[in-house]
Structure 1
Amino acid sequence: MEVFFVADEIFDLFGNPVRPGKGQRGRPAYEATEKDRNKVKLLLALGWSNARVAAAIPVSEATLKRYFRAELKERDQMRDRLDARRFEIVMEQANAGNVGALKELTKMIERSDLMRAGQRMEKPAGEKAKAKVARLGKKEQAQLDAETAGAGDDDEWGSDLQFPGMVN
């Protein structure tokens, strides 16, 4: 029986290479691999925070920001890229004649159409801003209610606030 060892690198339980440093001065510089870059892109597409992504790699947040700056800048586009890649893979399988992929492609297209229709149904940003401006705080509303109390004929106070013969 022959035993093969990889003498260059030692791996931990999760398959990450163990960095040398025990008994040596200083810590070696971090080297970002393509596998790490892909993992960061995936986790950003899933909406993870920087702290959570850094813990998953495992590096500090400062190291994450230093070595993965380009990926972090494109955080907003990562979900769209992930969805586009999924569509691409399913489409390749469907073109090859995979019936399951055809069904999945149909479901994905329907979900995409529903999402797009939902985005069109939302109010424009200008209308939302106007609605926020029109709302009064509780103190302003109380002041307005106090000023208009007893002004109408059909209010709940009736004639309780009317003092005949007295002038304020």
Structure 2
Amino acid sequence: MEPNFDLFGHPVREGFGGRGRPPYEPTERDRNKVKLLLALGWVNSRIANALGVSPATLKRYFRADMKERDAMRDRLDARRFEIAFEQASAGNVTALRELGAMIDRNDRMEIERGMGKPSGDDEQPLSKDKLGKKIVAEQRAHAADADLMAELESEASQNARH
């Protein structure tokens, strides 16, 4: 007997619409979809909606995948690099260009990540009282004011000499 499919192309489970709830049977396609959506940063409820299951069912059948949420983005990026490299090695010029662009983006990301974190020697202890946005903005405004005044004074002194 050929399976029936719903509007979105998912197979309709046997006994659907009958008495009782049919047990959920995860497929490899569902597992791949969960991994992809985890890599994209989707929350559990949104992933459950995409699969057409409850969040509890998602947690029950995909617990192992959900534990590796943080690693999924890295795995996705690694797989993309792998595919681009294979295609570029086979002589695909477009894949070679895309691989170069991917490497450039990765290098930029690593540089930004390195700039965001101070090195071990330059680490400053974090203060207990973190300044708020308004106070930081005021301090920056005063610093900019002082810089502007210093610049104006130096220009005035240069003009006075001429």
Q: TM-score range by the shorter chain?
A: 0.7 to 0.9
Give, in angstroms, the shift of residue 136 of structure 1: 6.4
Name the structure 1 match of 2:111: 117
Q: Give deviations 1:94-116, integer Å, cap 9, x for gaps.
A: 00001111111100000000101
- TM-score, normalised to structure 2, is 0.73
Q: Does 1:102 align with 2:96?
A: yes
SS at match of 1:47: coil
SS at match of 1:76: helix
AA in 2 matched with 1:115: M
Distance 1:57 1:128 in 2: 47
Name the structure 2 match of 1:77: 71
Name the structure 1 match of 2:148: none
Larger Rg: 1
AA in 1 matched with 2:39: A
- TM-score, normalised to structure 1, is 0.71
CA RMSD of aligned residues (A): 2.2
Structure 1 segments (4+ residues) deviating >4 Å: 124-129
Give, in angstroms, the shift of residue 28 of structure 1: 1.2
In structure 2, stretches of 5+ residues that fail to align are 133-162
Q: Which residue of 130, 144, 150 corresponds with 2:126?
A: 130
State, as a whole percentage, how many aligned pairs show the same letter.
64
Give, in angstroms, the shift of residue 25 of structure 1: 2.7
Name the structure 1 match of 2:139: none
Give, in angstroms, the shift of residue 124 of structure 1: 4.4
Name the structure 2 match of 1:59: 53
Name the structure 1 match of 2:33: 39
Name the structure 2 match of 1:49: 43
Distance 1:92 1:34 in 2: 24
Distance 1:47 1:128 in 2: 32
SS at match of 1:12: coil
More helix by share: 2
Q: Does 1:30 align with 2:24?
A: yes
Distance 1:53 1:87 in 2: 25
Q: Structure 1 residues 124, 62: closer, same or farther in 2, change over 3 A?
A: farther
Name the structure 1 match of 2:16: 21
